[in-house]
Amino acid sequence: MIHVSGLRKVYGNGVVALDGVDLDVREGEIFGVLGQSGAGKSTLLRCVNLLERPTAGTVTVAGQELTALGRAELRRARQGIGMIHQHFALLSSRTVAANVAFPLEVAGLPRARRGARVRELLELVGLEGKASAYPAQLSGGQKQRVGIARALAAGPKVLLSDEATSALDPGTTQSILALLKRLNAELGLTILLITHEMHVIKGACDSVAIMRDGRVAEAGTLADLVARPGSLLTREIFPLPEPAPPGTVTLTFAGSADEPVMSSLVRGFDVDVNVLGGSLEDLGGRPVGRLRVRMDGGDHAGALTYLRERGVIVEQAPPGAEGTVPVQARTITEEAR
């Protein structure tokens, strides 16, 4: 649905905000772009609907190359792309209904049809009773719902979300993410969202790209990335002290949690397992965990082979000076290769 190729953006002051970005967002998915401040997320999002003109590269949305379009064609194509903002960007002098009607007025929809469409949109976002209220009379979550209704007015296939939950408290954030997931499922809406918050990625996204210094450092579905040894996403979701202390083993359980792997390990291979840290998360309804352990005694090599055969990702830190890991000590980077 969205294909970005070789995207580069150099601002007038010489700042290289995007340095060759490739991105593919499939139809009907919620795709998150995660990165720290200054990584280039907002620039990327604004380049997708060409609010910002890229210095080089192409942007294709729903099969149409936006970077090749003239001004009038681009204006038409943009009706297929809605956008929501961190600070809502509502018109304070207009009621909720008039805010939502605004893009319909610009598109030239007759007044009689506008009213029905606005009612439908307000119902969709759960704001039926607020049509006559003004933005100042609404909570942050309600304002964002107005923003979402307005973004959907022209019936877009794609919704761009620019840190839409960053100004909201945790409970309201969850309700807005739930709304976006419902719209994604019910309308088949493709959503590209940018965020610096991992819980937004965990709570809402099917796929993710991690941006660093204007480049995509890693991209894929959440399921694929957590199953990839050494992935940045896994380290972000399950933070453990890095580098791993010498001789420790870091285990990522990305598959089924039904098997009692750890107790089988201790019983079957006679190893002592000392848990140093770890956590468990629910990713897309699937339990995923990461555990850092020290294993002593017994059949160490056999234990690691057993874990790998059960689909556990095994990352061994190299032994320290005392050399506590007997066989095949591999660094995380070697494992990742």
Residue 214 or 230: the one with the smaller Cβ distance to ligand ATP is 214
Residue 163 or 315: the one with the smaller Cβ distance to ligand ATP is 163
Single out the segment in contact with ligand ATP by CB under 6 A; choices: 41-49, 60-68, 110-118, 323-331.
41-49
- Considering the rule CB under 6 A, would residue 85 count as an interface residue with ligand ATP? no
Single out the segment in contact with ligand ATP by CB under 6 A; choices: 39-47, 77-85, 177-185, 254-262.
39-47
Whether the Cβ atoms of residue 7 and residue 59 lie closer than 8 Å to each other: yes
- Considering the rule CB under 6 A, would residue 39 count as an interface residue with ligand ATP? yes
- Considering the rule CB under 6 A, would residue 226 count as an interface residue with ligand ATP? no
Cα-based distances in Å from 117 to 46, 106, 121, 176, 285:
27, 14, 6, 21, 35
DSSP character at residue 63: T
For ligand ATP, the binding residue among 4, 21, 25, 41 (CB under 6 A) is 41
d(CA 17, CA 21): 10
Q: Which pair of tokens denotes residue 179?
A: 């709304």
For ligand ATP, the binding residue among 4, 25, 40, 307 (CB under 6 A) is 40
Cα-based distances in Å from 100 to 50, 106, 148, 188:
22, 11, 9, 21
Whether the Cβ atoms of residue 215 and residue 226 lie closer than 8 Å to each other: no
- Considering the rule CB under 6 A, would residue 215 count as an interface residue with ligand ATP? no
For ligand ATP, the binding residue among 21, 43, 125, 222 (CB under 6 A) is 43
Single out the segment in contact with ligand ATP by CB under 6 A; choices: 40-48, 60-68, 113-121, 324-332.
40-48
Q: How far is the CB of 26 from ligand ATP (least distance, A)?
A: 23
DSSP character at residue 166: T
CA neighbours within 13 Å on the CB side: how many for 313?
23
- Considering the rule CB under 6 A, would residue 144 count as an interface residue with ligand ATP? no
Omega of the bond leading into 170 within 30 degrees of 0 (cis): no
Show Cβ contacts of residue 272 under 8 Å, excluding neighbours closer than 6 positions: 266, 295, 296, 297, 298
- Considering the rule CB under 6 A, would residue 13 count as an interface residue with ligand ATP? yes
Residue 197 or 299: the one with the smaller Cβ distance to ligand ATP is 197
For ligand ATP, the binding residue among 8, 19, 28, 38 (CB under 6 A) is 38
Number of residues that bind ligand ATP (CB under 6 A): 13
Strand 190-195 and strand 158-162: the pairing is parallel
Q: Which pair of tokens denotes residue 281?
A: 């998360």
Residue for token pair 């494992």: 335
Q: How far is the CB of 14 from ligand ATP (least distance, A)?
A: 9
- Considering the rule CB under 6 A, would residue 231 count as an interface residue with ligand ATP? no
Whether the Cβ atoms of residue 294 and residue 247 lie closer than 8 Å to each other: yes
Q: How far is the CB of 327 from ligand ATP (least distance, A)?
A: 43
For ligand ATP, the binding residue among 32, 35, 82, 147 (CB under 6 A) is 35
Would you tell me which residues interact with ligand ATP (CB under 6 A)? Answer: 11, 13, 15, 17, 35, 37-43, 196
